Chain A
Amino acid sequence: MKFQVYRYNPDTDKAPYMKDYELDIPAGSDMMVLDALMLLKEKDPTLAFRRSCREGVCGSDGLNMNGRNGLACVTPLSELKAPIVIRPLPGLPVIRDLVVDMAQFYKQYEKIKPYLLNDEPAPARERLQSPEERAELDGLYECILCACCSTSCPSFWWNPEKFVGPAGLLQAYRFLADSRDTATAERLADLDDAYSVFRCRGIMNCVDVCPKGLNPTHAIGKVRSLLLKNAV
């Protein structure tokens, strides 16, 4: 099976280039892209990429495979047409090979205050939720911050320092929807500018690529409705 992998080492290379590799992979194999990358790294130890859990939980191996973002560890080789073109996530600065600098992505995440804010005195044991209130968080809390969505979003490419992006907005809604959070008004006020939320053009690339099957566009719609409700 043929692979073309994006290579760039800023210390030695003047510009990024694509390197060809070949691996013997038996037909009908259920290997994932990450397994192939590990085999490639045995052959060529200079190849750099991130990975940890190898089962779609940690979110560290978000990559662009044949033009589509996803987690290498849960993307079967059998689903991809050879040659398999592997690139780093688009739109973020490349540190080396397939490793990108996620600082911009985390900065947007930090901006939405991804933690519970509650100004009421803490109860003796814990803040309780009804099963219905808890159910509001389904489809939101599962995000593993792999950045597949935000780096496939054109609005995030053009304004990564101003548009919060699908991952951050999904989390923004996760805390707006939480019955234990009392900072809804402040959170909404922080989001009500022309960029943070409203740069979303509903292109839905984010929904298309999320390896956890989440729907950031839907959450963004909910944030927008909350802003609207708050204003009228």
Chain B
Amino acid sequence: MVKQVTSLGRSGLHDWMIQRVSAVVLAAYTIFLLGYLVCGPDVTYEAWREFFGCLYVKLFTLIAIAALAAHAWIGIWTVCTDYIKCSCIRMVVQSASIIACLVYVAWGALIVWGV
């Protein structure tokens, strides 16, 4: 058993599952958004605003942002633990990436909820 503190999930399986599930969510959201852009009305400020005013779109967007952050967290964590051997640099890069993920989630929520 190898222990680590900066990973997102509690176990290897947990991380692995989050990575897969978040990928599916992101794929679904991408298709959803593309569908809107292709089949929906002309994208004007009003149409865009109305689209994001819908509660379900808001929720889906929030979930997608959270999925993106989780996906990035695990992905960057994995790349760091493969390639960055110096633990000081690794700590700094990992902390920065974790903070960035959290900030993006909070910021994204503020924007989406502000509509």
Contacts and interface: CB of A to CB of B under 8 A. Distances in A.
| A and B bind | yes
Interface of A: 155, 158-159, 162, 189-198, 224, 227-228, 231
The size class of the interface chain B forms with chain A is 10 to 19
Contacts, number: 49
Contacts of A190: 1
Contact of A193 (B3, B78, B82, B83): B3
Given A155-B82, A159-B81, A159-B82, A196 B13 contact: no
B82 A228 contact: no
B82 to A, nearest CB: 4
27 contacts: A155-B82, A158-B81, A158-B83, A159-B81, A190-B1, A191-B1, A192-B11, A193-B3, A193-B11, A194-B2, A194-B9, A194-B12, A194-B15, A194-B78, A195-B12, A195-B81, A196-B1, A196-B12, A197-B12, A198-B15, A198-B16, A224-B16, A227-B12, A227-B13, A228-B13, A228-B17, A231-B13
A224 B17 CA distance: 11
A196 B82 contact: no
B16 A196 contact: no
Contacts of B97: none
A221 to B, nearest CB: 12
B4 interface: yes
A193 B12 contact: yes
Name the 7 nearest CB pairs between A and B, nearest first: A198-B12, A195-B2, A158-B82, A194-B12, A193-B2, A192-B11, A162-B2
Interface in B4-46: 4, 7, 9, 11-13, 15-17
Nearest to B85: A158
A194 B1 contact: no
Contacts of B11: 192-194
A230 to B, nearest CB: 8
B5 to A, nearest CB: 11
Interface centre among B2, B15, B82 (most CB of A within 10 A): B2
A152 B68 CA distance: 32
Nearest to B9: A194
Contacts of B4: 193-195
B71 to A, nearest CB: 15
Contacts of B82: 155, 158-159
A193 B81 contact: no
Contacts of B9: 194
A227 B10 CA distance: 14
Most chain B beta-carbon contacts within 10 A, residue among A193, A196, A231: A193
Interface string B70-85: 0000000010011100
B77 to A, nearest CB: 8
A198 B13 contact: yes
Contacts of B3: 193
Nearest to A163: B2
A196 B2 CA distance: 7
A167 to B, nearest CB: 18
